[in-house]
Structure 1
C-alpha cells in the first residue's frame, strides 16, 4: 500500500510540475491597435490594463505574438470586468487566437468586479500564434490579462495577494530589479511641479532622475487631461521664481481643447531631454520605497507597458505625484479630507472632519461635422431628459466627480467610469433629442485619464492654513507667491437634485486673496528626513489647498525644491537642515543674489 501511495504521489507531483501556463499581460501587447494603456488603478490592482476608448466607435484590434511551450489543447481565461453593469454594460469585446474568435463575448457579465472568465478551450497547432482583442462597441471595454493553461482544473487566483504573486511568477520578475543607478535627486511625478523640480535641481548641478507614470509630461496640463495653467508668476516676492514655469507654459488653450498640440507635450519633453543632468523615465509607476529608519534609500518602479522593474537609488527624493504616493509608501505623515473648524480655527473649514475631497474631471469636446452623424442610445449610462440635461458642445472644469462619494485614490477607475457614464449619457441625449443643434456635431475627444484635484496632503513642519493666506503672513521662509482664490468645489445644486449621491457637476465660490507666500517648511516632510514635496500634495489644510493647488503655483514650488535640494547636497544636510541652518542662502538664491555651488 505504501508503495502504491508513493507512486501516486510522485505521479501527481510530476503532473503538477508539468503544467504549462502561458500568461499574457495585455499592456505588453506588441500592437495596441486602438486600445490604450490605463495605469490609474495600479494601486489597487498591482497592474495596468488596456481599454478600447473609442467614444462609441469600435477601435482597431490589439494583437501580439504568443509563444507556447508545446502544441495541444489549452484552457483560456480572460481577466476583465463589466464597467457599467446597469444591468449590462457596453464594453463588449472578443478574443481571437490565430484569427479564430472565441465564441464568448466578454465585458458584459453584469459584474463590475475584476475577475477571471472562462473562455473555453482552444487547440494550439503551432508554437507561435497571434492573440488579438476585438472591440465590439468603442465604449471602453477593458482587459487585464489572458491565461492559457493545459491544466484542465486549474483556476487562476482572483484574490489580490495571490494574483500578484502569480503575476510575478509568470512574468519571471525577481526581487532584484535592474538598477538605474544612483542620483542626487529622484523626482517622482512628471506634472508641472515635478518637471520644474527636476529642471531646477539639474541646473543647480544635481544628477536627477525624473519618473513619470504616463508617456507624456505635464500631468493635468498634458494632452491626456487638458487643463490650462492657472496662478500668476509675475507677482512674486522673489522675481527669480517662475522662470522655469514660463518655459513649460504653452500659452492658455483653455480647458478641454480638442487640439492636443495646444498643450505642448513635445515642448515639455524636449526641454527635459535637453537637460544633461536629467535622466527621464516615462511610463514608470513607482510602487515601492526602500528605507533605512526615516530615510528613503531607493524607489522601485514598474514600466506600465513592459512590466520591467527598475530601482532608483538617491540622496534626496521629491514627491510630485499629486497623490502623495511616494510619501505614503515611505510612511510619511499625511492627511486626506477636511479638517474641522475646532481643529484648525478656519472659518471656511467643515463643522466636522470628514473624507470629503475635491473631485476628478474627465474633460471632453465635440466639433462640427460636414454631415449628419449619429450616436447610439446608452441605456447603461446616466439618463437625461428635457427637464435636465447639459446643453454644451464641450466641457469645462465643472464636469467633476468625487465630493466624498468616492476615494480619489482607491476608486480612481470608478470615478473615471462615472464621468464617462455622464458624458456619454448626456451626449446621447443631445444627439438624439436636440437634433436641430447637434445633428452635425461629433464627439471629438474624451479624456480617459482623470484630472485629479485632491487626495493626500503630506504633512510638513508647517501646515499652511486659511489665516496664513487671508492675513498675508510673511514667514522668514516665505518662498512661492500664490495668487489663486480659495477655490473649494462642491456639488452643483441642480445636479444634486437630479443625481443625488451620483453628482458629476460642480460649483464653486471664489474667495479672493491678496498675493501671499507659501513657507518653505510646507515643501518637505515632517517625519521623512530626505523627502521634499511639490504640487497639490504639499503641507496645507483642506481650505488652504483650495488656493495652492493650481499648476503655475505648483511649478514654482518645484523650482524652490530644486534650489533647496542643491543646498542640502552642498552641506550634506536635510531639507529641514536648510531651514534651520542655511535659510539665508536659500533666500539669496530666490532673490537671485547668489547661486549655490555645484555639488
Structure 2
C-alpha cells in the first residue's frame, strides 16, 4: 500500500514538473533593437551579451520582439539587469511592455550594481504570441541581459555564474548544437588592425583563413566604435615590404574621437577583407572556448553575440590577435599581467615591486556646435565637477582613461566603461549648466560605449622583449617589425588624482624617445602552445617594452609577419618555433622581399 502511494505521489510530481514552462529570451536576440545596442564586453563575466540604451541622455527607441508561448495562462516575469550607477539610485531606468502595456515595475534603479534577476510580477498570457518591448526612460545606459517567463510556482532563476550558464545553455538549447565552420590553415581570432593584417597576409600567400571578430566592424581601436587614430611609423622600416597591408587599412588621420565615424574607414576595411578569396570573415562572433590535443589547439568555439548560435572553427594554426590574449589564456598559454619588478627584468623603468598595474581603457566622446541652445540634465549619479576642477574640452583625446591597477581591464571591463561614462556625463553636465556661453549650443554627438583597451595579458614567447632591447637597439637575427613609437607608459594625471584618488579617469604620460628598432619573431608565437601565433598588444614583452610596441601600425606589421610565418609553417609542416629554428632565413627573405624567396601560393 505504501509503495503504491509513493508511486502515485511521484507520478503527480512528475506531471507537475512536466507542466512547468520556461520562456527564456536573451535581449540581444530581439528582432528589432530599436535604439538599443549590443554590448558583449563582459561576456567573460556574465556569459552573455546584453542590450543597452545608449542615448547620451536622450531616451532611445524601444527594442521589440515577438515572444511565443507554449500555452496560455499565468506567468511570473523575471528580468535580469543591474543599476549601473547607484548613487544611491542610478539613471538606467527602463520598463518591459507586453502588447504595448508597460509592467508596473521600473527596472534599473535598484541601488545595486550587481547583475541579478528582479521579479516583475505576474501576467496573464491570453495568446500564444505576444509583442514585448524594452522601453527606455532616460537614455542613460539602462541595460537588460535576459527576460524569463515561468509558470513554475516559487521558482527563482539562478544567479551564480556556473548555474546561470547551465540554465542559459539549456533554455537556448545550445548543448550539442555547435555548427562546424570547417577546417582552416589559419584561424585568426581578433579583427583589429593586427588580426586583419595577419589574415590578409596569410590569405595572399595561399592559406585558407578564418578571420573572427566579436563586433560588427573591423579595425578594433581604429574602428568607428572606438575611434583611436593609428600610430607608429611604417616608412622607417629596415624591411620596406612590411607595412604595405597596414597602408591599405589606413584611412588617414582623423585624430582621436572624431565626431564622424566614417572617418575611420569601417566599410573600406571590410571591403578589402571580403575581396580576398581565401578569407572567410565571421563578424559578431565571440570566441569563448578552445579545444586542444596535447599542446596544440585543434579548434575554437565562438558564439554569435546576437543570436547565441555557436560555431566551431577547426584549424592547423591559430593566431591570437584579441588584445586580451583570450585564445592563449583559454588554451593554457603562459602569460604575464601587470608590471614586473626591476629585480626581475633589470629595466630602469620597471616598477620597484611587481603588481597588477596596467594602462587603462578609454571611452572617447565628441560634441558639435548646433544652431540653437540645448540643455543637458543634472547628473547627481555621475562624477561631480566644480569650478575648482573640471575638464574644459569639447572633444575627448586619449587622456580620458580608466584602469591603472584600480580595475582589471578584462574582468572589470564593464565597470571601467561605466566609470568613464560617469566622468563624461558628469563633466558634460557641468559644462552645459555652468559654462553656457561656451557650451550652450554644443551637444554630445557621439560617446563610445565600447572601451578602447590598451593593456591586459601579454602572452609569453621564446623571447620577451624588454627595455634594453629597445634602447640599446639590439640586432636580433630574427628582428622583423621595425617599431618607432616612444616608450609611452600612462599614469594617472596628478591633478585628476588629487581630486579623485583611486577613481582616476584622466591620464598623463612621459614619452621616452627611441631609435627605430626591430621586434624579434620569437615574440610572435607562444612558448608552450605549439601552434599558436600572436600579433598586437598581447605579444611577448615586458610591461615597459609594451609601452612602445602597442600602437596599431606596429601591431599591423606584426600581423603581416605572422601571415608569412604561418605560410612557411604549413609549407614545411612545422610549428611556429620550427620556422625560427629551421627556416628563419626563408622567413627573413620573404620579409625582405628578396627575389630568392620561395613563395608558391
Q: Deviations over 1:347-405 (max 9, x none)?
A: 00000000000000000000001101000000000000000000000100000000000
Does structure 1 residue 459 correspond to structure 2 residue 463? no
Aligned residue in 1 for 2:111: 110
Aligned residue in 1 for 2:548: 547
Aligned residue in 2 for 1:265: 266
Aligned residue in 2 for 1:597: 599
Aligned residue in 2 for 1:296: 297
1:3 to partner: Cα distance? 2.4
3-state SS of paired residue (1:5): helix
Aligned residue in 2 for 1:491: 492
Aligned residues: 599
Aligned residue in 2 for 1:377: 378
In 1, distance between residues paired with 2:377 and 2:6? 63
Aligned residue in 1 for 2:42: 41
In 1, distance between residues paired with 2:67 and 2:175? 22
The aligned runs of 1:165-176 (5 Å cut-off) are: 165-176=166-177
Aligned residue in 2 for 1:95: 96
Would the aligned equivalents of 1:566 and 1:596 in 2 still touch at CA under 8 Å? no
In 1, distance between residues paired with 2:119 and 2:145? 14
TM-score when scaled to structure 2? 0.99
In 2, distance between residues paired with 1:317 and 1:488? 30
In 2, distance between residues paired with 1:596 and 1:38? 45
The aligned runs of 1:554-573 (5 Å cut-off) are: 554-573=555-574
Aligned residue in 1 for 2:392: 391
Aligned residue in 2 for 1:432: 433
The aligned runs of 1:394-433 (5 Å cut-off) are: 394-433=395-434
1:596 to partner: Cα distance? 4.2
3-state SS of paired residue (1:8): helix
1:2 to partner: Cα distance? 3.4
3-state SS of paired residue (1:504): coil
In 1, distance between residues paired with 2:354 and 2:324? 20
The aligned runs of 1:109-188 (5 Å cut-off) are: 109-188=110-189
3-state SS of paired residue (1:315): strand
Aligned residue in 2 for 1:475: 476
Aligned residue in 2 for 1:513: 514
Aligned residue in 2 for 1:8: 9
Would the aligned equivalents of 1:206 and 1:598 in 2 still touch at CA under 8 Å? no
CA RMSD across the alignment? 0.7
3-state SS of paired residue (2:487): coil
In 2, distance between residues paired with 1:499 and 1:455? 23
Q: Deviations over 1:194-238 (max 9, x none)?
A: 000000000000000000000000000000000000000000000
Q: Deviations over 1:548-596 (max 9, x none)?
A: 0000000000000000000000000000000000000000001101444
In 1, distance between residues paired with 2:63 and 2:177? 31
1:176 to partner: Cα distance? 4.7
Does structure 1 residue 80 correspond to structure 2 residue 74? no
Aligned residue in 1 for 2:530: 529
Give ranges in structure 2 of 5+ residues lacking alignment: none
3-state SS of paired residue (1:285): strand
User: Which aligned runs of 4 or more in structure 1 are off by greater than 2 angstroms?
Assistant: 1-6, 594-599
3-state SS of paired residue (1:517): strand
1:4 to partner: Cα distance? 2.4
In 2, distance between residues paired with 1:162 and 1:17? 21
Aligned residue in 1 for 2:316: 315
1:8 to partner: Cα distance? 1.7
Aligned residue in 2 for 1:351: 352
Aligned residue in 1 for 2:367: 366
Would the aligned equivalents of 1:95 and 1:101 in 2 still touch at CA under 8 Å? yes
In 1, distance between residues paired with 2:279 and 2:502? 45
In 2, distance between residues paired with 1:591 and 1:5? 81
TM-score when scaled to structure 1? 0.99
In 2, distance between residues paired with 1:295 and 1:9? 49
In 2, distance between residues paired with 1:173 and 1:17? 21
Aligned residue in 2 for 1:244: 245
Q: Deviations over 1:328-353 (max 9, x none)?
A: 00000000000000000000000000
1:152 to partner: Cα distance? 2.3
